[in-house]
Amino acid sequence: MVTGSRLSGRWGGAASAGDAGRPATKPVGDAAEQRALAHLQGQGLRLECRNYRLAGGPHVRGAEIDLILRERDGTLVFVEVRARADARAGGAAASVTLAKQRRIVRAAQHYLMRLAHLPPCRFDVVAIDGDTLQWIRGAFDAA
C-alpha cells in the first residue's frame, strides 16, 4: 500500500501523436527524463538504472521506474519524471496518481530483490511544467 503522498489532484492527460498541434509523448518524455537526470546528477546523485521495467500479467498492469539513482549517503532513489506543457489541470506532479505510485513501488520492490543488502530508499518525483523543474524529494512512501 502507498501512503503519505505529497501529491494530489488528478491526471491532467497527456498528448498523443493524434493530437493536432501537440508533440507525441515519447520524445517529450525522453527529453524530460534527460533534463531530470542532468539536474539530479548536478545535485550529486549517481545513475544506477534508467527505465527499469517490470512486466505485467493477464490481470496486472506492468510498471516502470524512469530513473534509479543513488545519493552520496547510499540512499537509493526511485524517480518518476512527469512533464506537462504548463501547470493547468493540476500540473505534472498531480499526474502521479495513487495507482501509478503503487506500480512504482511494486517495480521498486522487484528491483530491490536483486540486491544483496537493502539500502535506505526514497521515492521522488521530478515535475516539469513548461520550463519549470520541481524536484519533490520523498513525494510518496511505500508502506
CB 28 within 8 A of CB 15: yes
**Per-residue confidence (pLDDT) for residue 23, from 0 to 100:** 60
Q: What is the pLDDT of residues 35-57, one digit of tens each?
A: 999 999 999 999 999 999 998 88
Q: What is the pLDDT of residue 104?
A: 96
User: Is the CA virtual torsion 117, 120, 121, 127 positive or negative?
Assistant: negative
Show the cell assigned to 5: 503522498
- Residues of the chain falling short of pLDDT 70: 1-23
Q: What are phi and psi of 121, to 5 degrees?
A: -130, 160
pLDDT of residue 28: 79
Question: What's the whole-model pTM score?
Answer: 0.81
Is residue 53 left, alpha or beta, with left meaning phi > 0 and alpha meaning psi from -120 to 50?
A: beta
Task: Report in angstroms the alpha-carbon separations of 52 from 55, 79, 86, 112.
Answer: 10, 11, 27, 12
Measure CA 39 to chain center: 14
CA atoms 20, 9, 130, 77: torsion sign: negative
The amino acid that residue 58 corresponds to is P
